[in-house]
Amino acid sequence: MSESYEYLFKFLIIGSAGTGKSSLLNNFLGNKFKEDRCHTIGVEFGSKIINIGGKSTKLQIWDTAGQERFRSVTRSYYRGAAGALLVYDVTSRDSFNALSNWLRDARTLASPNIVILLVGNKKDLEGSREVTFTEASQFAQENELMFLETSARTGENVEEAFLKCSKTILAKIETGELDPERIGSGIQYGTGTSKKLAAPKKPVKPPSDCACNV
């Protein structure tokens, strides 16, 4: 796999055990949905190159185990992440109630500029729903999170979740809010981009003046 890309974004998938984090990753990577999935042990790694706003971007995704005993392992991955999917299960009130703890970890351990998308998974199980869209949307607003409901089984909104998060990261780079050069931003220039030799100037003019040539 020697495909070139302009940016590399480091992503986390976090949330309680059993909410479908690994199925989201598998669906995004193009693998088939598995009904009886066993728990993730430690962390799992996948990567994929997507196109965002005309820019080839490699997403480096860490799918973390939700069990308590892996907390010390998975916490070490918060530092240096550019984006995170914070996943709960719409059919599990407990997983929604646990979001505050996961969010606190993210706010404490990750970069302050990390982009977090709240993901309500298992949207297809409407008959077992325990968390309404409205309630979760309100939680997202109160905590300044983006929000989407997905189904890893049907694939609905799975790619959209990663795209939405990535687009927001890219927008922050272009406005100068996120500096790829800074250690811990979770962003790297890719193999297709030559790094600027001089220290990058922060843009003082409109974004259209930014020159991003391949």
Partner 1 sequence: MASTSKDSVPDGDKVAGNLGDDLEPGACSDSILNPEDSFEEFASELTPNLQERNILTAKSSTISEIQSEIGECSQLHGTKSSDNLQSKDESISASTSSSNLLEQNGDEADDKDDYLHSPELVNKEKHVFILSSAGKPIYSRYGNEDKLAGLCGVIQALVSVVEEQNQDILRSISTKDCKVVFLMKGPLILVAVSKSNESETQLVMQLTYAFNQIVSVLTLTQLNRIFEQRRNYDLRRLLSGAERLIDHLLIFMEKDPAFLLGAVRCLPLPEKSRENITNAITSTCNKIRDLVFAILLAGNQLITLVRMKKYTLHPSDIHLLFNLVRSSESFKTAESWTPICLPKFDATGFLHGHVSYISEDCQACLLLLTVQRDAFFPLSQAKHTIADKLRRSNCLVAINDALNRNKELPTTNPLKHIGIPEIRHFMYKCKSTAQLFTSDPICLDKLQDYRLRHKEGGDITEKKITKLSDIEHVRKYRKFCSQIHCTSTPAKLIFRSNSDDTILAWITNGFELYVTFDALMEKDQAIRAIDRLLHWIKREEERIFIMNAPTF
Cβ neighbours of residue 166 under 8 Å, at least 6 residues apart? 9, 50, 52, 57, 59, 83
Would you say 123 and 90 are in contact if contact means Cβ atoms under 8 Å apart? yes
Interacting residue with partner 1 among 15, 19, 22, 153 (CB under 8 A):
22
**Binding string, residues 75-114; x marks residues near partner 1 by CB under 8 A:** -x--------------------------------------
The 8-class DSSP code of residue 142 comes to H
Interacting residue with partner 1 among 10, 20, 28, 46 (CB under 8 A):
46
Query: Which range binds partner 1 by CB under 8 A, 65-73, 115-123, 134-142, 153-161?
Result: 65-73
Candidates 23, 44, 38; CA nearest to 153 is 23
Residue with tokens 């199925």: 23
Judged by beta carbon, residue 40 or residue 185, the one nearer partner 1 is: 40
Least spacing, CB of residue 41 vs partner 1, in Å: 5
- 3-state class (DSSP) for residue 44: strand
Is the C-alpha dihedral spanning 35, 65, 163, 190 positive or negative?
Answer: negative
Interacting residue with partner 1 among 12, 13, 24, 25 (CB under 8 A):
25
Tokens of 140: 């997202």
Least spacing, CB of residue 17 vs partner 1, in Å: 6
Judged by beta carbon, residue 84 or residue 136, the one nearer partner 1 is: 84
Interacting residue with partner 1 among 3, 4, 53, 73 (CB under 8 A):
73
Interacting residue with partner 1 among 6, 12, 24, 40 (CB under 8 A):
40
Tokens of 159: 């790619």
When asked if residue 68 is in the footprint of partner 1 (CB under 8 A), the reply is yes
When asked if residue 29 is in the footprint of partner 1 (CB under 8 A), the reply is yes
Candidates 157, 115, 126; CA nearest to 23 is 157
Q: Distances from the Cα of 115 to the Cαs of 4, 183, 198, in angstroms?
A: 24, 16, 28
Least spacing, CB of residue 73 vs partner 1, in Å: 6
Q: For binding to partner 1 (CB under 8 A), which residues are involved? A: 17, 22, 25-26, 29, 31, 34, 37-46, 63, 65, 67-73, 76
